[in-house]
Amino acid sequence: MKRTNFSHPTEFILLGFSDQPQLELILLLVISIIYMITLIGNTAIILVSHLNPKLHTPMYFFLSNLSFLDLCFTTSIVPQMLWNLKGPQKTITYTGCVIQLYISLGLGSTECVLLTIMAYDRFNAICRPLHYSVIMHPKFLKQLAAVAWISGFVESTVQTILVFQLPLCGHNRVDDFMCEEPALIKIACGSTAFLENELAVASVLYVVTPLGLILVSYGCIVRNVLKIKSAEGRRKAFGTCGSHLIVVVLFFGTTICVYIQPKSKYTQNHTKFLTLFYTVVTPSLNPLIYTLRNKEVKSALKRLLIRDHT
């Protein structure tokens, strides 16, 4: 079968919020500030976790991975977004779109797996305290981190190849502010049933299943914590899990809305704001959530700042 009419465009136009120019100026300012907060906050978490020996624990090993992931995730999206928001040009090259989809999808999938591993770590810390150091030994931590990163990018490789094999027939107007799979599927001129079904399977594997495992872990954690007789002990146990649980709700909640929602539930603008939240806002909130709720991180940050000023 001839595919001459299925040639790929040389660039894509990311429509974003171009129909609301007054909103673009506000977003330019707000996203710039959030991006700076993301860079500073996540870099601080990585430095503190690395420099403070007291934080050389499994929890902070995974938190450092999460912070590094969030730095890469937002940087794969935000600079291009800010460039498009500041002027009339809303384009991204075909190659740039492929790279952006591959990296952002890989990092997003990795985060789903990593948050599940962090829940497993909290489960072992609270439900198996006597065996915790034996189970979560350094070699095993590195293996778990490798599983998260490799599985995320294996999934991204498959999805990216399938998406850019779709016939576009010269269509290049993407109704989103980034190259994201649901928006790219919509501009295909051929049948997308196979890819939509494959995306549904991937969503089950990388969103629904991890979330289910996290909920099971926390079910076991709650059951064990309620057995603790002292109120102070229960408060401390819940405190170590609270930050992670908030991050899980924020990330998975918005991801589910974008990837698993019924097609008619939200308008495209609502979907864009949801995507904006989990790609831009959530990575900036992660360091704040962990530092504001964690005395160890706050004290380590203070010591780091005092040492830098002396």
pLDDT in tens, 287-310: 888 776 666 676 766 676 666 555
**Mean pLDDT across 206-226:** 91
pLDDT at residue 264 greater than cutoff 90: no
Q: How many domains does the chain have?
A: 1
The answer to whether position 28 is within a domain reads yes
The answer to whether position 1 is within a domain reads no
CATH number of the domain residue 245 falls in: 1.20.1070.10
Q: Check if the beta carbon of residue 38 is closer than 8 Å to that of residue 46.
A: no
The answer to whether position 55 is within a domain reads yes
The answer to whether position 148 is within a domain reads yes
* β-strand pairing of 11-14 with 91-93: antiparallel
pLDDT at residue 102 greater than cutoff 60: yes
The answer to whether position 152 is within a domain reads yes
2-16, 57-71, 283-297: least confidently modelled range: 2-16
What digits encode the pLDDT tens for the residues 268-282? 667 788 888 888 988
Q: Check if the beta carbon of residue 183 is closer than 8 Å to that of residue 176.
A: yes
The answer to whether position 2 is within a domain reads no
- Report the pLDDT value the prediction gives residue 96, as an integer from 0 to 100: 93
**Mean pLDDT across 2-12:** 64
85-99, 194-208, 233-247: least confidently modelled range: 233-247
Residue 165 gets which letter from DSSP?
T
The answer to whether position 199 is within a domain reads yes
70 vs 81, 169, 205, 244, CA distance in Å? Answer: 16, 35, 21, 14
The answer to whether position 186 is within a domain reads yes
For residue 285, count CB atoms less than 10 angstroms from its CB and return exposed for 0-12, middle for 13-18, buried for 19 or more.
buried
**Mean pLDDT across 237-261:** 82
pLDDT at residue 60 greater than cutoff 50: yes
- Report the pLDDT value the prediction gives residue 111, as an integer from 0 to 100: 94
Range of the domain at 298: 9-309
